[in-house]
Amino acid sequence: MFTTSPHIAPTSYCTGPMARPGGLSLGRRAQRIGQYACAHLGRESPPGRTLEPVRYARGGNIRARSRGFTLIELILVIVLVGILAVVATVFILPPFQAAADIERRAMLVDAADLAVNRITREVRNALPNSLVVSGNRIEFISTVTSGRYRRLPAPGGGSDIFVPAQSSGSFDVLGGLLDAGAVQTRSAGTDCGTNAGHCLSVYNTGQPGYDAWTGGNIAAITAVSGSSISYDSGGSGPPFATHSPQQRFHVISRTVRYSCGGGQLRRWSGYALSQLGNPLSGAGNLVADNVTSCQFAYNPGTSARRGLLTVRLDLADEGESIFLLGQAQVLNTP
């Protein structure tokens, strides 16, 4: 390397034979490059600028200033990126994972809560002594409304009383029938478990002869008003064995089943009374998914004490699992 004047390029190197530092002769190509450089260095540099010194490279080439990055810089960048990735994994990722886990757990709780509340709400409106529990399955007969019938004639006459020994008839409803508009009539002799209409049930105890599941103590409702009900069993014998001690009757709508299997809780309704405990056609309606287990425990109680149904539902999804308990009091006073 040699120095230059701020304004005039040195010309001593441009006179005489071209030589490398150290006395070594240059090749023809290097001499041409040197002559070209000397021709330009011989001119004055513009004010405020200095001419760059000529550098000789191996092979006689003049190298420009290097640009880019070195291998050490690349390694440092890779190391720094790795450190940032570790920091993100250890300190940043867990909060996001925790938020996702909380959201997933909340969704499981909501699904279980909706399912348990639906079961317990329907069971509270079940026909007394119609609830049947078998493993992971429950079945019952749902009701629309209920009331008290007239058993004895009114003192002034003109009243219509309930007579259990009659296969068809009508009776007065004491105090009027609640939700009379919700009661649907049906043809006599049709299965009271299906969705063809509503039926009348009196004094269902679940015992032989008093069990609605076997067709005892029920008859089709053929007409209804706000103060009276007409019924017809469609059979030769009387549909009702005896009076209810409380003169109570129930209007039943359909059969209902909840069952767990294949990771799902499903609901069926409107099937025949004779299908109690038997496999049902169709897939039913999905109530809850991701179900790992469901348990039903039932204490029927006594005539003076209400029954109690306990429902436990276990759900799991992507490593998160929850279980929910629910209880429903069952009025079994017929």
pLDDT tens-place string over residues 199-211: 999 999 999 889 9
What's the angle, vertex CA 274, arms to CA 271 and CA 279, rounded to 5?
65
pLDDT of residue 56: 47
- Give me the residues of the chain with pLDDT under 50, please: 1-13, 18-26, 43-45, 49-51, 54, 56-57, 59, 62
One-letter identity of residue 66: S
Q: Report the candidate in 189, 187, 202 with the shortest Cα–Cα distance to residue 127.
A: 202
pLDDT at residue 190 in the model? 77
Sign (positive or negative) of CA dihedral 92, 93, 96, 99: negative
The mean of the pLDDT values for the chain is 83
pLDDT of residue 295: 95
